Amino acid sequence: MSWSEPAGAPAWSGPGTPDAGAATAETAPIPQSPVVELRHVRAGYGRIEVLHGIDLALSAGTVLALLGPNGAGKSTTLKVVSGLLPPMSGCFHVLGRHVNGVAPETLARAGVCTIPEGRAVFPNLTVSENLRMMTYGGASRRQVEERAFARFGRLAERRRQLAGTLSGGEQQMLAMARALSADPALLLLDEISMGLAPLIVDELYDVVAHVAAEGVAILLTEQFAQAALRVATRAAIMTQGRIVAEVAPDEVPADLADAYLGGGISADRTAEAVPA
Ligand code: ATP
Protein backbone atom coordinates (compact mmCIF):
# COMPACT_ATOMS: atom_id res chain seq x y z
CA MET A 1 0.00 0.00 0.00
CA SER A 2 1.33 3.44 -0.80
CA TRP A 3 1.59 6.23 1.72
CA SER A 4 -1.98 7.31 1.24
CA GLU A 5 -5.32 6.99 2.90
CA PRO A 6 -6.35 3.33 3.01
CA ALA A 7 -9.60 2.68 1.16
CA GLY A 8 -12.55 3.40 3.40
CA ALA A 9 -10.41 5.01 6.07
CA PRO A 10 -12.10 7.74 8.06
CA ALA A 11 -10.82 11.18 7.09
CA TRP A 12 -8.21 12.72 9.37
CA SER A 13 -9.84 15.18 11.69
CA GLY A 14 -6.72 16.30 13.53
CA PRO A 15 -5.08 19.66 13.52
CA GLY A 16 -3.28 19.46 10.21
CA THR A 17 -1.27 17.59 7.62
CA PRO A 18 2.37 16.54 7.99
CA ASP A 19 3.41 19.81 6.36
CA ALA A 20 1.23 21.96 8.55
CA GLY A 21 4.03 22.88 10.91
CA ALA A 22 6.48 23.98 8.22
CA ALA A 23 5.92 27.66 8.94
CA THR A 24 8.25 30.26 7.42
CA ALA A 25 9.79 33.05 9.47
CA GLU A 26 6.98 35.35 8.31
CA THR A 27 4.11 33.13 9.35
CA ALA A 28 2.88 32.31 12.80
CA PRO A 29 3.70 28.74 13.84
CA ILE A 30 0.88 26.31 13.16
CA PRO A 31 0.39 23.57 15.74
CA GLN A 32 1.80 20.31 14.40
CA SER A 33 -0.01 17.01 14.33
CA PRO A 34 1.29 14.54 16.86
CA VAL A 35 3.89 12.30 15.26
CA VAL A 36 1.82 9.33 16.36
CA GLU A 37 -1.62 9.07 17.87
CA LEU A 38 -3.69 6.08 18.93
CA ARG A 39 -7.36 6.56 19.80
CA HIS A 40 -9.32 3.74 21.44
CA VAL A 41 -7.16 1.16 19.70
CA ARG A 42 -8.07 -2.47 20.25
CA ALA A 43 -5.73 -5.13 18.95
CA GLY A 44 -4.73 -8.73 19.56
CA TYR A 45 -3.80 -12.05 18.10
CA GLY A 46 -6.35 -14.07 16.18
CA ARG A 47 -9.60 -13.52 17.97
CA ILE A 48 -7.98 -12.81 21.33
CA GLU A 49 -8.06 -9.12 22.18
CA VAL A 50 -4.95 -8.02 24.08
CA LEU A 51 -5.19 -4.22 23.89
CA HIS A 52 -8.55 -3.01 25.15
CA GLY A 53 -8.73 0.59 23.90
CA ILE A 54 -5.35 2.32 23.97
CA ASP A 55 -5.08 6.11 23.77
CA LEU A 56 -1.74 7.81 23.38
CA ALA A 57 -0.17 10.67 21.48
CA LEU A 58 3.42 11.78 21.01
CA SER A 59 4.83 15.01 19.62
CA ALA A 60 8.23 15.56 18.02
CA GLY A 61 11.05 15.57 20.55
CA THR A 62 9.12 13.83 23.32
CA VAL A 63 9.87 10.49 24.96
CA LEU A 64 6.97 8.39 26.22
CA ALA A 65 7.96 5.42 28.38
CA LEU A 66 5.43 2.58 28.35
CA LEU A 67 5.90 0.77 31.63
CA GLY A 68 4.24 -2.26 33.13
CA PRO A 69 4.65 -5.90 34.12
CA ASN A 70 5.08 -8.93 31.88
CA GLY A 71 2.18 -9.43 29.53
CA ALA A 72 0.74 -5.94 30.04
CA GLY A 73 0.68 -5.31 26.30
CA LYS A 74 3.70 -3.03 25.87
CA SER A 75 5.26 -4.94 22.96
CA THR A 76 1.85 -5.40 21.38
CA THR A 77 1.36 -1.63 21.45
CA LEU A 78 4.70 -1.18 19.67
CA LYS A 79 3.67 -3.81 17.10
CA VAL A 80 0.57 -1.77 16.34
CA VAL A 81 2.56 1.44 15.97
CA SER A 82 5.14 -0.22 13.72
CA GLY A 83 2.33 -1.58 11.52
CA LEU A 84 3.04 -5.25 12.28
CA LEU A 85 -0.33 -5.71 13.95
CA PRO A 86 -3.33 -3.89 12.44
CA PRO A 87 -5.79 -2.54 15.01
CA MET A 88 -9.06 -4.45 15.32
CA SER A 89 -10.75 -1.10 15.87
CA GLY A 90 -9.94 2.47 16.80
CA CYS A 91 -7.81 5.03 15.01
CA PHE A 92 -4.09 5.03 14.37
CA HIS A 93 -2.49 8.17 12.93
CA VAL A 94 1.10 8.90 11.95
CA LEU A 95 2.01 12.49 11.11
CA GLY A 96 -1.63 13.36 10.74
CA ARG A 97 -2.54 10.47 8.43
CA HIS A 98 -4.91 7.68 9.21
CA VAL A 99 -2.80 4.54 8.86
CA ASN A 100 -4.88 1.61 10.17
CA GLY A 101 -3.82 -1.35 8.04
CA VAL A 102 -0.85 0.37 6.38
CA ALA A 103 2.09 -2.00 5.84
CA PRO A 104 5.14 -1.79 8.14
CA GLU A 105 7.48 -0.99 5.24
CA THR A 106 5.29 1.94 4.24
CA LEU A 107 5.31 3.24 7.79
CA ALA A 108 9.08 2.74 7.87
CA ARG A 109 9.45 4.88 4.74
CA ALA A 110 7.31 7.52 6.45
CA GLY A 111 9.79 7.61 9.33
CA VAL A 112 8.60 4.98 11.81
CA CYS A 113 11.63 3.03 12.88
CA THR A 114 11.65 0.07 15.27
CA ILE A 115 14.30 -1.58 17.38
CA PRO A 116 12.58 -4.79 18.45
CA GLU A 117 13.21 -6.70 21.65
CA GLY A 118 16.49 -8.58 21.25
CA ARG A 119 19.19 -7.03 19.08
CA ALA A 120 18.33 -6.22 15.53
CA VAL A 121 21.74 -6.84 13.97
CA PHE A 122 23.10 -9.42 11.55
CA PRO A 123 25.51 -11.48 13.67
CA ASN A 124 27.51 -12.88 10.75
CA LEU A 125 28.23 -9.47 9.23
CA THR A 126 30.78 -7.00 10.49
CA VAL A 127 29.82 -3.69 12.09
CA SER A 128 30.63 -1.90 8.81
CA GLU A 129 28.59 -4.37 6.76
CA ASN A 130 25.63 -3.98 9.12
CA LEU A 131 25.83 -0.23 8.63
CA ARG A 132 26.35 -0.50 4.88
CA MET A 133 22.93 -2.12 4.56
CA MET A 134 21.46 1.18 5.69
CA THR A 135 22.65 2.97 2.53
CA TYR A 136 19.55 1.80 0.65
CA GLY A 137 17.84 5.10 1.53
CA GLY A 138 20.38 7.03 -0.56
CA ALA A 139 22.98 8.04 2.03
CA SER A 140 26.55 7.07 1.17
CA ARG A 141 28.41 4.46 3.18
CA ARG A 142 30.67 7.19 4.51
CA GLN A 143 27.73 9.33 5.68
CA VAL A 144 26.11 6.38 7.43
CA GLU A 145 29.37 5.42 9.13
CA GLU A 146 30.23 8.98 10.13
CA ARG A 147 26.88 9.47 11.81
CA ALA A 148 27.04 6.10 13.54
CA PHE A 149 30.58 6.53 14.78
CA ALA A 150 29.95 10.08 15.96
CA ARG A 151 27.20 8.75 18.22
CA PHE A 152 28.90 5.52 19.21
CA GLY A 153 32.68 5.88 19.19
CA ARG A 154 33.06 2.31 20.36
CA LEU A 155 31.59 1.02 17.09
CA ALA A 156 34.35 2.76 15.13
CA GLU A 157 36.96 0.79 17.03
CA ARG A 158 35.13 -2.41 16.16
CA ARG A 159 34.12 -1.73 12.60
CA ARG A 160 35.71 -4.94 11.26
CA GLN A 161 34.40 -7.16 14.04
CA LEU A 162 31.49 -9.57 13.43
CA ALA A 163 28.36 -8.14 15.06
CA GLY A 164 27.66 -11.49 16.73
CA THR A 165 30.90 -11.22 18.70
CA LEU A 166 30.14 -7.73 20.07
CA SER A 167 29.03 -7.39 23.67
CA GLY A 168 25.31 -7.08 24.26
CA GLY A 169 25.61 -3.34 24.80
CA GLU A 170 27.65 -2.86 21.64
CA GLN A 171 25.09 -4.87 19.65
CA GLN A 172 22.35 -2.63 20.99
CA MET A 173 24.42 0.43 19.99
CA LEU A 174 24.78 -1.01 16.49
CA ALA A 175 21.04 -1.65 16.31
CA MET A 176 20.39 1.96 17.34
CA ALA A 177 22.99 3.29 14.90
CA ARG A 178 21.29 1.37 12.09
CA ALA A 179 17.87 2.67 13.07
CA LEU A 180 19.04 6.27 13.39
CA SER A 181 20.76 6.23 10.01
CA ALA A 182 17.26 6.14 8.49
CA ASP A 183 16.57 9.58 10.00
CA PRO A 184 13.33 8.52 11.71
CA ALA A 185 10.50 10.79 12.84
CA LEU A 186 9.44 8.19 15.38
CA LEU A 187 11.69 5.67 17.07
CA LEU A 188 10.20 2.61 18.78
CA LEU A 189 12.45 0.96 21.35
CA ASP A 190 11.41 -2.32 22.92
CA GLU A 191 13.26 -3.04 26.19
CA ILE A 192 16.66 -1.85 25.03
CA SER A 193 18.05 -2.45 28.52
CA MET A 194 17.31 -6.18 28.42
CA GLY A 195 20.25 -8.14 29.83
CA LEU A 196 22.63 -5.17 29.86
CA ALA A 197 24.81 -3.74 32.61
CA PRO A 198 23.53 -0.51 34.20
CA LEU A 199 26.42 1.60 32.86
CA ILE A 200 25.73 0.55 29.27
CA VAL A 201 22.02 1.13 29.77
CA ASP A 202 22.77 4.67 30.97
CA GLU A 203 24.94 5.22 27.91
CA LEU A 204 22.17 4.04 25.59
CA TYR A 205 19.64 6.27 27.28
CA ASP A 206 22.00 9.25 26.95
CA VAL A 207 21.80 8.65 23.20
CA VAL A 208 18.02 8.38 23.43
CA ALA A 209 17.95 11.81 25.12
CA HIS A 210 20.15 13.32 22.38
CA VAL A 211 18.02 11.83 19.64
CA ALA A 212 14.86 13.24 21.22
CA ALA A 213 16.55 16.64 21.51
CA GLU A 214 17.08 16.49 17.73
CA GLY A 215 13.28 16.32 17.35
CA VAL A 216 12.62 12.60 17.06
CA ALA A 217 9.57 11.29 18.94
CA ILE A 218 10.42 8.19 20.95
CA LEU A 219 8.06 5.54 22.26
CA LEU A 220 9.81 3.00 24.41
CA THR A 221 8.94 0.08 26.61
CA GLU A 222 10.75 -1.00 29.73
CA GLN A 223 9.94 -3.45 32.43
CA PHE A 224 12.57 -1.92 34.73
CA ALA A 225 11.97 1.73 34.54
CA GLN A 226 14.64 3.81 36.24
CA ALA A 227 17.00 4.44 33.32
CA ALA A 228 14.15 5.19 30.94
CA LEU A 229 12.50 7.58 33.37
CA ARG A 230 15.68 9.66 33.50
CA VAL A 231 15.09 10.71 29.87
CA ALA A 232 11.32 10.30 29.51
CA THR A 233 8.98 13.25 29.08
CA ARG A 234 5.96 11.21 30.19
CA ALA A 235 5.30 7.71 31.41
CA ALA A 236 2.27 5.58 30.60
CA ILE A 237 1.58 2.70 32.96
CA MET A 238 0.05 -0.36 31.33
CA THR A 239 -1.58 -3.33 32.98
CA GLN A 240 -3.71 -5.99 31.34
CA GLY A 241 -3.95 -4.30 27.96
CA ARG A 242 -4.90 -0.87 29.23
CA ILE A 243 -3.08 2.37 29.97
CA VAL A 244 -4.13 2.93 33.56
CA ALA A 245 -2.23 6.16 34.14
CA GLU A 246 -0.18 8.69 32.24
CA VAL A 247 2.06 10.69 34.53
CA ALA A 248 5.24 12.74 34.78
CA PRO A 249 8.36 10.60 35.23
CA ASP A 250 8.86 11.73 38.82
CA GLU A 251 5.36 10.55 39.73
CA VAL A 252 6.01 6.99 38.67
CA PRO A 253 7.68 4.88 41.38
CA ALA A 254 4.81 4.46 43.83
CA ASP A 255 2.34 3.85 41.03
CA LEU A 256 4.61 1.35 39.40
CA ALA A 257 4.97 -0.63 42.58
CA ASP A 258 1.18 -0.83 42.77
CA ALA A 259 0.99 -1.96 39.20
CA TYR A 260 3.60 -4.65 39.69
CA LEU A 261 1.83 -6.02 42.71
CA GLY A 262 -1.01 -6.75 40.37
CA GLY A 263 -3.51 -4.54 42.10
CA GLY A 264 -3.52 -1.91 39.37
CA ILE A 265 -3.29 1.78 40.00
CA SER A 266 -5.24 3.36 42.82
CA ALA A 267 -8.65 4.72 41.95
CA ASP A 268 -7.74 8.39 42.21
CA ARG A 269 -4.73 7.87 39.93
CA THR A 270 -6.84 5.91 37.43
CA ALA A 271 -9.05 8.95 37.20
CA GLU A 272 -6.01 10.83 35.93
CA ALA A 273 -5.52 8.46 33.01
CA VAL A 274 -5.54 11.22 30.47
CA PRO A 275 -4.56 10.41 26.98
CA ALA A 276 -2.60 13.46 25.75
P1 ATP B 1 6.86 -8.38 28.33
O2 ATP B 1 7.37 -7.29 29.21
O3 ATP B 1 6.88 -9.73 29.00
O4 ATP B 1 7.48 -8.39 26.96
P5 ATP B 1 4.52 -7.02 27.31
O6 ATP B 1 3.91 -5.99 28.21
O7 ATP B 1 5.38 -6.51 26.21
O8 ATP B 1 5.29 -8.11 28.15
P9 ATP B 1 3.06 -8.36 25.24
O10 ATP B 1 4.24 -9.09 24.70
O11 ATP B 1 2.50 -7.25 24.46
O12 ATP B 1 3.32 -7.87 26.72
O13 ATP B 1 1.92 -9.44 25.49
C14 ATP B 1 0.59 -9.08 25.88
C15 ATP B 1 -0.27 -10.35 25.85
O16 ATP B 1 -0.38 -10.80 24.50
C17 ATP B 1 0.29 -11.51 26.63
O18 ATP B 1 -0.77 -12.13 27.29
C19 ATP B 1 0.90 -12.41 25.59
O20 ATP B 1 0.84 -13.76 25.97
C21 ATP B 1 0.00 -12.16 24.39
N22 ATP B 1 0.74 -12.34 23.13
C23 ATP B 1 1.86 -11.69 22.77
N24 ATP B 1 2.27 -12.07 21.54
C25 ATP B 1 1.38 -13.01 21.12
C26 ATP B 1 1.24 -13.80 19.93
N27 ATP B 1 2.09 -13.68 18.91
N28 ATP B 1 0.18 -14.64 19.86
C29 ATP B 1 -0.72 -14.74 20.88
N30 ATP B 1 -0.64 -14.02 22.02
C31 ATP B 1 0.39 -13.17 22.14
Domains of the chain: which residue ranges? Answer: 36-121+185-270
Give the residues of the chain that fall short of pLDDT 70.
1-32, 118-119, 137, 224, 253-276
Q: Would you give the end-to-end CA distance of the chain in angstroms? A: 29
Residue type at position 170: E
Q: Which residue among 41, 49, 50 is best mutated to probe the pocket of ligand 1, counting the most ligand atoms within 8 A of its Cβ? A: 50
Shortest-distance atom of ligand 1 to CA 73 = 11
pTM here?
Answer: 0.81
Q: Give the whole-angstrom CA distance, residue 131 versus residue 149.
A: 10
Q: What does the pLDDT read at residue 259?
A: 52
* Helix, strand, coil % in the chain, rounded to nearest 5: 35, 25, 40
Q: What does the pLDDT read at residue 226?
A: 82
CATH 3.40.50.300 correct for 36-121+185-270: yes
Q: What does the pLDDT read at residue 95?
A: 92
Q: Which residue among 76, 80, 81, 191 is best mutated to probe the pocket of ligand 1, counting the most ligand atoms within 8 A of its Cβ? A: 76
Q: What does the pLDDT read at residue 24?
A: 46
Q: What does the pLDDT read at residue 39?
A: 96
Could you tell me if 77 and 87 are in contact, meaning their C-beta atoms sit under 8 angstroms apart?
no
